[in-house]
């Protein structure tokens, strides 16, 4: 797949003055000579900077970049370096294995006559002119390495235009080389095998989020241009029908304590809703199962259960139930707090009282 320069969806015209650079890009400057490294490494932890976001505090055994050294700074090809292979590292996609689904880097290996590529890489960066006009479309630039016959490698800088974009000659010369191999390498485990097989997310919000935005509702605004915007409540989601449900899969989560923080008042959102936002918790996946047929038959009555009494005890565990009809998972899940207030939450409804038999099946 050709992926060296993917443009963003929004294009703006920006006036740049003097030596200023395009917002989000540094001004074009002289590029240092690249330092020779021991080997090509597309899994180095400092390379995936094109918008990939990984969870904080990922365990070392599930972050394959954590124990690797940083890649050297990119630079120009030094005199006398004779490449035998070029490597392009594209940070997109995923790969599955016995442990689960990993974020991935796709590595393209190219060989051939490197004269055109070396000439393109030797081009200096262009300097911005007075009142330079540039488009602010985002360019995602892959990592580029060259390797010599001894296996030593250079991490290369793409020559830039006066607007900070890559010069097209480099990509053109690179793609003139023969593509000899494409390899997909794992980076960080995103979904564990148990969660992946069960169709569960690795983390999700607690039932409190559904209660906050299903009852208090989000705020939107209306009004003509120039008028003061007025808040209006979003109608609750339509209550789903679970008629004919004959099975269900269940994802279990342990609640992660919320960080202590304060939030200033926000115009258009009442204090009760704001307090609710501050109390939101998230859960991390810790198991999955399927409901026995007799327990699944309790789900059609879930949306018409009695309203739960007022309660403010936070749960430490909860379940997300995905009802199934004729083997097909429905789009709307049911959440059940397994301790604390032990409430059942259906989209678009108040907190309800779960059937004792259903709660017993989930906590057995």
Residues 259, 348 share a domain: yes
- Residue 297 makes CB contacts below 8 A (sequence gap 6+) with 245, 246
- Whether residue 215 contacts residue 233, with contact meaning beta carbons closer than 8 Å, is answered with no
Residues 219, 178 share a domain: no
Residues 281, 212 share a domain: yes
CA–CA separation, 187 vs 67, rounded Å?
Answer: 11
Q: What share of residues in the chain are helix, strand, coil (percent, to 5)?
A: 15, 30, 50
CA–CA separation, 324 vs 333, rounded Å?
Answer: 10
**47 lies in a domain?**
yes
Residues 350, 256 share a domain: yes
Q: What is the pLDDT along the chain (364 residues), one digit of tens a residue?
A: 333 333 333 333 333 333 333 433 344 447 899 999 999 999 999 997 544 444 444 455 588 888 899 999 999 999 999 999 999 999 988 899 999 999 899 999 999 999 999 999 999 998 887 888 888 787 889 999 999 999 999 999 999 998 889 999 999 999 999 999 999 999 988 889 999 999 998 888 888 777 766 533 333 333 333 333 344 444 445 667 888 898 999 999 998 876 555 555 555 555 555 555 555 678 889 999 999 888 888 898 887 889 999 998 989 999 999 999 988 998 888 999 999 999 999 877 788 999 999 999 999 8
Q: Domain boundary at 162, 192, 222, which?
A: 192
Residue 145, beta-bridge partner list: 87, 155
Exposure b/e, 186-211, CB count within 10 A at least 16 = b: bbbbbbbeebeebebebebbbbbbbb
Residues 292, 205 share a domain: yes
Residues 244, 298 share a domain: yes
Structure tokens at 362: 């989930």
Residues 146, 39 share a domain: yes
**183 lies in a domain?**
yes
CA–CA separation, 193 vs 195, rounded Å?
Answer: 5
**1 lies in a domain?**
no
Residues 218, 81 share a domain: no
Q: Domain boundary at 192, 221, 238, which?
A: 192
pLDDT score of 266: 52
pLDDT score of 218: 32
Residues 171, 294 share a domain: no
Q: Domain boundary at 171, 192, 213, which?
A: 192
Return the number of other C-beta atoms located less than 10 Å from residue 102's C-beta.
22
Tens-digit pLDDT profile for residues 308-344:
999 989 899 999 999 999 889 988 889 999 999 999 9
- Residue 43 makes CB contacts below 8 A (sequence gap 6+) with 64, 65, 68, 105, 185, 187
User: What domain range is 269 assigned to?
Assistant: 199-363
Tens-digit pLDDT profile for residues 76-99:
999 999 999 999 999 988 899 999
Sign, CA torsion 335/340/342/346: negative
Residues 111, 209 share a domain: no
Give the length of the chain: 364
pLDDT score of 26: 42
pLDDT score of 278: 53
**324 lies in a domain?**
yes
- Residue 67 makes CB contacts below 8 A (sequence gap 6+) with 60
The domain tally of the chain equals 2
Residue 246: which of 194, 291, 277, 282 has the closest Cα? 291
pLDDT score of 259: 58
Residues 352, 219 share a domain: yes
pLDDT score of 273: 54
Residues 79, 204 share a domain: no
């Amino acid at each position: 797949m050709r992926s060296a320069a993917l443009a963003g969806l929004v294009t703006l015209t920006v006036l740049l003055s003097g030596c200023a650079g395009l917002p989000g890009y540094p001004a074009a400057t002289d590029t240092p000579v690249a330092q020779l490294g021991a080997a090509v490494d597309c899994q180095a932890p400092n390379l995936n900077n094109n918008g990939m976001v990984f969870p904080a505090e990922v365990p070392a055994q599930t972050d394959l970049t954590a124990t690797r050294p940083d890649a050297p700074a990119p630079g120009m090809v030094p005199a006398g370096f004779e490449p035998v292979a070029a490597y392009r590292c594209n940070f997109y996609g995923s790969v599955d294995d016995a442990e689960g689904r990993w974020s991935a880097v796709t590595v393209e290996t190219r060989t051939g006559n490197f004269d055109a590529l070396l000439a393109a890489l030797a081009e200096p960066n262009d300097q911005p002119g007075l009142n330079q006009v540039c488009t602010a479309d985002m360019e995602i630039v892959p990592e580029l390495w060259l390797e010599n016959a001894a296996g030593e490698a250079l991490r290369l800088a793409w020559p830039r235009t006066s607007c900070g974009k890559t010069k097209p000659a480099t990509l053109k010369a690179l793609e003139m080389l023969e593509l000899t191999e494409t390899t997909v390498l794992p980076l960080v485990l995103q979904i564990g095998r148990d969660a992946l097989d069960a169709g569960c997310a690795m983390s999700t919000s607690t039932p409190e989020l559904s209660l906050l935005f299903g009852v208090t509702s989000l705020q939107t605004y209306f009004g003509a241009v120039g008028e003061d915007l007025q808040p209006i409540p979003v109608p609750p989601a339509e209550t789903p029908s679970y008629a004919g449900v004959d099975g269900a899969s269940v994802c279990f989560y342990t609640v992660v304590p919320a960080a202590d923080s304060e939030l200033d008042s926000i115009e258009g959102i009442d204090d009760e809703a704001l307090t609710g936002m501050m109390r939101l918790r998230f859960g991390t996946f810790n198991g999955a199962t399927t409901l026995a047929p007799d327990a699944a038959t309790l789900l059609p009555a879930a949306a018409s259960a009695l309203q739960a009494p007022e309660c403010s005890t936070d749960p430490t565990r909860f379940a997300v139930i995905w009802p199934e009809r004729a083997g097909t998972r429905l789009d709307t899940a049911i959440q059940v707090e397994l301790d604390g207030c032990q409430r059942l939450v259906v989209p678009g409804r108040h907190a309800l009282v779960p059937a004792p038999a259903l709660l017993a099946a989930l906590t057995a």
